[in-house]
Amino acid sequence: MSATPATATPATATPAIAPGAASEPAPARRAASDAVPGLRAALALQIAAALLWLPQAALLAGAVAALASGGGLAEVTLPAAGIAALGLVRALAEAGGGRIAFRAGRAELSRRRAAAAVALARRSPLDIARPPSGLTASVLAEQAEAVVPYLSRFLPARYRAVVVPLVILACVLPLSWAAALILAICAPLIPLFMALIGWRAKEASEAQLVEIGGMNAFLLDRLRGLATIRSFGAVEATARRLRADAENLRQRTMAVLRIAFLSSAVLELFSAVGVAMVAGYIGFHLLGMIGFGAWGARLGLGEGLFILLVAPAFFEPLRDLSAAWHDRAAGQAALAALDRLGADGLPVVGTDEPVPARSGGAPEVRLEGVRFVHAHRAGSGSSAPLFDGFDLTVAPGEHVALFAPSGAGKSTLLALVAGLAPPQAGQVFVGGEALTGESAARLRAGMAYIGQQPHIFAGTLKGNIGLGRAGIDAGAVRAALRVARLEEVAARRGPAPIGEGGRGLSGGEALRLALARLAATPDAGLILADEPTAHLDSDTAAEVADGLLELARGRTLILATHDPLLAARMDRVIPLGNGEVAP
């Protein structure tokens, strides 16, 4: 949440990447895909590689006609050399186009992943519409991979299917209008049936991706609560639910595969019929059994062979399109999922620009006429605000306790002060400066946050204290460990890493690690603490409270708690009830 990410909790750590700025509106999917940098060059190379078969076929047909008319080796040497040279150029162009398309698709995927991650980081911890972490991980790490085949395989195949058949048709038409008519009649049938199948394929792919995301979210949630599940004897029920979800996923995956095989069969059928009809016409025409279709003339062996050679190439781009058709459905579904992750949630004030930490000491905090209604309350039609006309002033260096039972708005008030929830009315001032979209990131750089369960990353104690922040060297880490009374823990663990989520540390040690992060942040003049002693035994709670108050000397401290012993140690206690400050 804060500009001091070292003390952020899991729910509030992500908005440290400049929360609040509005997400960039997602462009139309087709326009965005067509505008991928580098993809135009890949399309040009792949289309050129496909069209190089036309001069190759012309040289080959001419050489065969020359041999049939009694020519010798000398008459086919030059065409053979030309065919070999064009084949080499064609192979290089095709390989280069495929490589460029893959790199362009991979770069576009990285850009979209980064945009989705930034958009997620901008969303407020109070946003109840935030996607589950399991779904987010599934979309970003697994489903998003379908974007690369879509951009690097389907889009080039789509453009080849549009350009190459038209060029081949233009080359065949001057030789035989009948052969061109056969190709022109067979070609539209393929995209027509492909479109009909494609609508169903897209629905099936989207349903499959939803099922994958839901299953991942369910599995992650159950793994996190495995101890609770075992304690309540719900292991078998959870296993049955997981088996049912796996079976649903299998059925949806098989539905996608069935549609993919059906589209390939449809294309093969019509392309085979088209090539067979052209071959039959050319054969009967050369035998003299059919005399029409060549503009009043007769086709020679070279011309007829050229048409036969390019007829399969006429359908080849459509065949490639069919092979990549399932990439289209999966890719568009993945792009839609990324767009949904990148959609704006509950707005959070802030900017995207990096800001230096404040160095103005302990600031004054003032709330004037603040009104706030949770998004889910507003959406349900309930007009009862959590705060309405709320006023509060915290003097510089003052330690105050927001004392109230759970649900009274203590955490929400801290979020308002930190700029993680914009008030519907009124204004928040920190250090005499209004908390706005332009000033929030700068003001938040002078804040630190400590919650009930500070997030501990997999790594060393030093890494969890510094979190890669500049200016925190080994000396600063040792001093922070000493202030937080973690020296014995550090000596006992040595270089052994800490597990994700603080595995290997007790609850009190995790809280003291959060205090060490605060001790390593001398520029944080305002400390926001949300129930730092909750769920701790009395001795550990007293030790954490001592450390917090020691670090809060000379700083402004706003503490949310329902612990009367901790509240009594503050300079002032502010009971919260119905949005009013008790006298």
pLDDT band at 199 (very low <50, low <70, confident <90, very high): low
The model's confidence at residue 30, banded by pLDDT at 50, 70 and 90, is very low
Assess whether pLDDT exceeds 70 at residue 17.
Answer: no
C-alpha to C-alpha distance for 129 and 446, rounded to whole angstroms: 29
Query: Letter for the amino acid at 329?
Result: A
Rounded distance between C-alpha atoms, residue 573 and residue 564, angstroms: 10
Phi, psi (5° rounding) for residue 574?
Answer: -115, 100
| Nearest by Cα to 444 from 521, 550, 533 | 521
Q: Higher model confidence: residue 160 or residue 459?
A: 160
> If we measure between CA atoms, which residue out of 523, 522, 581, 582 comes closest to residue 366?
581
The DSSP letter of residue 246 is H
Mean pLDDT, the chain, rounded, equals 79
CB 143 within 8 A of CB 212: yes
- pLDDT band (50, 70, 90) for residue 581: very low
Q: Which residue has the higher pLDDT, 20 or 176?
A: 176
Q: Who's near 532: CB < 8 A, 6+ residues apart?
A: 450, 451, 452, 511, 514, 544, 545, 548, 559, 561
What is the rounded average pLDDT of the residues 270-299? 86
* Tens digit of each residue's pLDDT (9 = 90 or more) over 349-388: 554 444 454 445 789 999 999 888 876 555 444 557 788 8
pLDDT of residue 85: 95
Q: Which of 64-68, 374-378, 423-427 has the lowest mean pLDDT?
A: 374-378
Residue 29 pLDDT:
42
pLDDT at 22: 32
For 307-343, what is each residue's pLDDT tens digit?
A: 999 999 998 888 788 777 778 878 888 888 888 887 7
Does pLDDT of 557 surpass 90? Answer: yes
Within 10 Å of residue 340's Cβ, how many Cβ atoms? Answer: 14
CB 12 within 8 A of CB 449: yes
pLDDT band at 32 (very low <50, low <70, confident <90, very high): very low
Residue 345 pLDDT level (bands cut at 50, 70, 90): low
Domain ranges in the chain? 34-213+264-342, 365-575
Distances from the Cα of 253 to the Cα of 33, 258, 329, 553, angstroms:
25, 9, 13, 60
DSSP label at residue 398: -
pLDDT winner (highest mean) among 5-9, 223-227, 394-398, 451-455: 394-398
Instruction: Note the pLDDT of residue 127.
Output: 67
* pLDDT above 50 for 554: yes
Q: pLDDT (tens digit, 9 = 90+) per residue, 500-546?
A: 777 778 877 888 888 888 888 878 889 998 888 887 888 888 888 88
Per-residue pLDDT tens digits for 117-172? 888 877 766 666 777 777 788 788 888 888 999 998 898 988 998 899 999 999 99
Residue 175 or 7, more confident: 175
- The CATH number corresponding to 365-575 among 3.40.50.2300, 3.40.50.970, 3.40.50.300, 3.10.20.310 equals 3.40.50.300
The CATH-assigned architecture of domain 34-213+264-342 is Up-down Bundle (1.20)
- What number is the average pLDDT over the span 217-229? 79
Residue 128 has a pLDDT of 66
Angle at 352 between CA 343 and CA 532, to 5 degrees: 85
Q: What is the pTM of this model?
A: 0.62
User: pLDDT category, 240, cuts 50, 70, 90?
Assistant: confident
Q: Quick one: pLDDT at residue 3?
A: 40
The average pLDDT across 229-251 equals: 84
- pLDDT at position 19, please? 30
Query: For residues 83 and 60, is the Cβ–Cβ distance under 8 A?
Result: yes
CA distance 129 to 120: 11
Are the folds of 34-213+264-342 and 365-575 the same?
no
More confident residue, 267 or 356: 267
